[in-house]
Amino acid sequence: MNRKTNNVSPFCRTIFNVLCVHIYCCLFNFQTASASTPKILKIHCTHLQVCNLLENVNIPNITLDLVYPQKFNGDHHHFEPSPEELKQWIQSELLATPPMELQPWLKKILTQRNYYFAKNKSPQHTWTFQLSETIPKDQKEIYAHFWAYKNIACQFKKDFLLKIFQTYSSNLTNEQFILTTYDECLKKFSAVENQISMLLKSKLSKSQGLKIFLTHNALLPFFQNLFPSAEVISLKGSHEHEEIHPMTLKKILQSINHPSDPRPNKHLWVLEEGFQLGGLSFQNIQTHKNFLGKISIPPNGKEHTETVYFLQTLLVQLQALK
């Protein structure tokens, strides 16, 4: 007499099938959640504009945890991090820095960082923005202020994204994402630049020229390229701790009323917040008949804003001029 081997009640089979389906769904959901959970990259920035460059960039499957440097209103050429921040920069897996021309003091910190990771034999990545070799050496300190120059800023963003993907992702669609982000960056900068240029032209009559006085030479090429017909004059070099020389200021004030000028020139002053005009009251300049206006800019920008915010600040203040 043969014994039946599949003598299982319908009820038990139903229970078994339900359990199988439940287990399969749990495994599928777990794998899907694991695949869709973005990787979190904690990036320490030594300059706020480096973090700003990646603000609001939605990278596929990657979330950026941007750690801004401590607030500092002075000269970033001579900024010194606190002991706690210094420790974080040396020991963090990911560190992003601007060009060395902007923060030359970083070289010693990076040496300590390399020694730390070599000793601990753990992975680390230091991403430093490199200016193009086509930029003359004596101009690199100017262009290190990359947030005023769209081609440099957008190229840095592109390079940064490329480094992230090369290190943490192998998705073939990333190349198109990088190119799209780069194009959008250029469009944002160009749109604001065009508005600034048109606004400046609208402030002048056909017979008027324009003189732009800057307290920082980092914006010289920006205004020279944006408004080629203007005469752009810098009161000092790249080191914010330097005070304007009295003779320099005297020559500038003389040039405002120069009798040989073929046409009256409007005067626009672009001043860093807190800058002192060698003890001279700015009221004397403001009362001049050809005074167009004064724009105040933060020396290092504002954190948690996109890089183009710097130019947007210029635009807003120009729009407010009478």
**Residue linked to tokens 């810098």:** 234
Radius of gyration of the chain (CA): 28
Is 127 in contact with 97 (CB distance < 8 Å)? yes
Contacts of 109 (CB under 8 A, 6+ apart): 81, 86, 89, 90
**Confidence (pLDDT) at 85:** 94
For residue 136, what pLDDT is reported?
94
Q: CATH number, domain at 295?
A: 3.40.50.1980
Under a CB-based contact definition with an 8 Å cutoff, are residues 129 and 156 in contact?
yes
In a domain, 118, yes or no: no
- The answer to whether the pTM exceeds 0.75 is yes
User: What is the distance between the alpha carbons of residues 69 and 79, in angstroms, rounded to a whole number?
Assistant: 11
Residue 24 lies in a domain: no
Whole-number pLDDT of residue 257: 60
Question: Which of 310, 300, 303 has the alpha carbon at shortest distance from 52?
Answer: 303
For the record, the structure tokens of 125 come out as 């990545």
pLDDT for residue 8: 56
Q: Does 113 reside within a domain?
A: no
How many domains is the chain built from? 1
Q: What confidence score (pLDDT) does residue 121 get?
A: 84
Query: Parallel, antiparallel, or unpaired for β 62-67 and 125-128?
Result: unpaired
Domain coverage including residue 219: 204-319
pLDDT tens per residue across all 322 residues of the chain: 444 445 556 655 666 555 555 555 554 444 444 445 778 899 999 999 999 998 888 888 888 999 999 876 665 556 778 899 999 999 999 999 999 999 888 999 999 999 999 998 888 899 999 999 999 999 999 999 999 999 999 999 999 999 988 887 766 568 889 999 999 999 999 999 999 999 988 888 776 788 898 887 889 999 999 989 888 988 766 554 556 666 766 767 676 666 555 567 888 988 887 666 655 566 767 777 788 888 888 767 788 888 898 899 999 999 998 7
pLDDT at 34: 43
pLDDT computed for residue 290 by the predictor: 82
- Structural domain includes residue 227: yes
Does 244 reside within a domain? yes
Query: Is the CB of residue 75 less than 8 Å from the CB of residue 240?
Result: yes
